[in-house]
Chain A
Amino acid sequence: MYLTREEEKMHSGERGPAREWAMNYLVAYGEALDAESFVEISSVGCGGIYIDTLKGVPRDVYRDIVKRRMAVPVYSWCIPDPEQWQEGGFTPEAVEKHRELNELSGKLGIHVTGTCANYLVGWIPIFGSHVASDESSQVPYINSVLGARSNRETLESLLRIGIAGRTPFCGLHTDEERQGNLLVRVDAELRDASAYAALGDYVGRIRQESLGVSGDIPVFTGIKGDVRPEYLVGFGASLATTGNVGLYHLVGVTPEARTLSEAFQGEKPPEAVTVGEAEMKEAFTQISTQGPDEIDWVVLGCPHYTVDQLYQLSKRLEGKKIKKGITFWVLTSPAHREMSKLTGILNTIKGSGASVLSQCWSILDGLHPEGYVVAATDSPKFAYYAPKIWRATHPGTHVDVWFGGMEDCVSAALTGKWREAT
């Protein structure tokens, strides 16, 4: 791998133990990926708890990180929200630990957005800029919608990349590897966010072979009408759950696909896979585990809801009560929760008996179901992971999941029964 003079100094330890430690990993990583050089990045967006990764580093490296700080701004979340820890099922010890970690984050230049979707709160990379990101909704969104460039990084690589300020130059960082490699013709009406989410889940499953560091780059035609950011948040999360996806192009919608030809960089597109109404029906059906229709638990906001989604939800819950015995979670970021508080949306939702939790994800230690639970959700990502996440950590927990739109989930919460949308 080619190293610049500065990179050589970092690698040899001349720039302190933290940079040396980071570069040792990144050189091995770059060589494994067959990258020829590094690219400097301008920021890091981390969907996990960035500061937690510092716990395992050698002491001299840790001291050096505290001394020299991160090389670039880092945006990350941290759990739990100290104001909601009881509702979120956290212990006072966990809250105290995270308060300390938040303070340390502030000293190092790690900005705690409190959400997996940093790009909806304050991390807004510029078109064409090189950044580093992880998390299933985040990588596709910043690549596809914002046109910034990142491979599918992980908590482990993001820590080193944040310290060194660079990442291997390959995959989605290069022009040529942002070219579409799968063509999907959408011949169905995408009526709401759940339809986009189901489409993503379906298309993510198509390819099984490896397409290299960039992974699948599906190009969609036939997407019409009002495409809202919220639709694409869930769409990318679904694609990256069932597939190996960090970038997609919507012809006529996303910035690197003004035309079909641009999406394929002037080359002949492959034969199209058509997704019609029948395939969309199959997409919805295969996400659910098809268990009993008596609902115990409703989970919305994976990825985190925006204030507009909270508003849509409040309209459906206004003056209504969630059926007794049903747990109803709405997950969002602190910033969007705060906005919903200002205008009364939050109170309307809470008045129905729902919990609006910020800085939480649907699947974590503090909060977990016990025994046999049937959940309803508008998130294919939640539906995919929930049945297996607690298998090792909480034996005896078994989760069945129904997937549908916000409307279906609210209806299930009010009646206690899942009914398929017609």
Chain B
Amino acid sequence: MKGRTRIILHGRKAFGGVAEGEALSTTRRLSGSMGGLQPTGEICERGHELDGASFKGKILVFPCSKGSTGWVIAFTKAAENGNGPLALVTQTADTYTAQAAILTRTPMVVDLDADPCRVIATGDWVRVDADHGLVEIHKKNLQT
């Protein structure tokens, strides 16, 4: 990660743990229920900027959940298949994302001092230290 711009955001732990990896980031909410998040880790929504992208092994950055209450079931299924994300970074915790993190023991950080969906771009290298509410970002492109 040498030579990359480094940014640190401070927030609150929603679920503890540490993980690092490449970010998959969106400024749009994610639907999960009934195929919105596929068991393969694929995001499936007509017209969504992440339609067809996979969150498997990624640091998933998004504002919050939307849609029907099966969100947690869909997320858990993907994680049970080994296709879950490494960590969740969202603007705030909501009832679906919080439970998804708890049930799959996925580190999750929320309430950061800047909007993670704007600061973190897909492809950035991100280290999440949920226990301390820290998100460390190594920018892929200086422009973004």
Contact = CB atoms under 8 A, between A and B. Distances in A.
B134 to A, nearest CB: 17
**Counting chain B CB atoms within 10 Å of each CB, which of A47, A156, A204, A289 scores highest?**
A156
B63 A152 contact: no
B25 interface: no
B95 interface: yes
A389 B39 CA distance: 11
Interface stretch (B86-94, B121-129, B136-144): B86-94
A136 B93 contact: no
A104 interface: no
A29 B69 contact: no
A392 B40 contact: yes
Interface in B81-133: 90-96, 98-99, 101-103, 108, 111
A367 interface: no
A244 B91 contact: no
Contacts of A211: 64, 92
Contacts of A47: 69
Interface stretch (A11-19, A221-229, A380-388): A380-388
Nearest to A215: B94
Contacts of A50: none
A242 interface: yes
Given A208-B29, A209-B63, A210-B64, A154 B95 contact: yes
B116 to A, nearest CB: 11
B48 to A, nearest CB: 10
Contacts of A215: 64, 94
B68 A135 contact: yes
Contacts of B15: 28, 32
Contacts of A248: none
B67 A136 contact: yes
Interface string A165-186: 0000001000000000000000
Interface residues of A, number: 44
Contacts of B33: 385
B22 to A, nearest CB: 23
Contact of A390 (B28, B29, B35, B95): B35
B110 to A, nearest CB: 8
Given A32-B14, A208-B27, A244-B94, A391 B63 contact: no
A25 B69 contact: no
Given A151-B95, A385-B35, A32 B63 contact: no
Contacts of B36: 385, 388
Looking at B68, B71, B103, B111, which has the most chain A CB atoms within 10 Å of its CB? B68
A363 interface: yes
Given A33-B93, A33-B95, A388-B44, A243 B66 contact: yes
B2 interface: no
A42 to B, nearest CB: 19
A394 to B, nearest CB: 11
A154 B102 contact: no
A210 B92 contact: yes
Contacts of B40: 392
Interface in A79-130: none
Interface string A41-83: 0000001100000000000000000000000000000000000
A417 B12 CA distance: 54
Contacts of B27: 208-209
B65 A388 contact: no
Given A153-B69, A210-B92, A243-B66, A29 B34 contact: no
Contacts of A134: 69
B46 A289 contact: yes
A29 B102 contact: yes
Contact of B102 (A32, A139, A204): A32
B73 interface: yes
Contact of B38 (A25, A242, A391): A391
Interface in A255-289: 289
Interface in B1-48: 12, 14-15, 27-29, 33-36, 38-40, 44-46
Given A154-B69, A212-B94, A388-B34, 16 more contacts: A28-B102, A32-B98, A33-B98, A34-B12, A154-B99, A155-B70, A157-B99, A209-B27, A209-B63, A210-B94, A241-B68, A244-B94, A385-B33, A390-B35, A392-B38, A392-B40
Interface of B: 12, 14-15, 27-29, 33-36, 38-40, 44-46, 63-73, 90-96, 98-99, 101-103, 108, 111
Interface of A: 25, 28-29, 32-34, 47-48, 134-136, 139, 151-157, 171, 204, 208-213, 215, 240-244, 289, 363, 381, 384-385, 387-392
9 contacts: A29-B98, A48-B70, A152-B95, A154-B73, A155-B69, A210-B63, A384-B67, A391-B44, A392-B38
Q: Which 7 A-B pairs have the closest CB atoms?
A: A388-B35, A210-B64, A32-B98, A210-B91, A134-B69, A385-B34, A32-B14
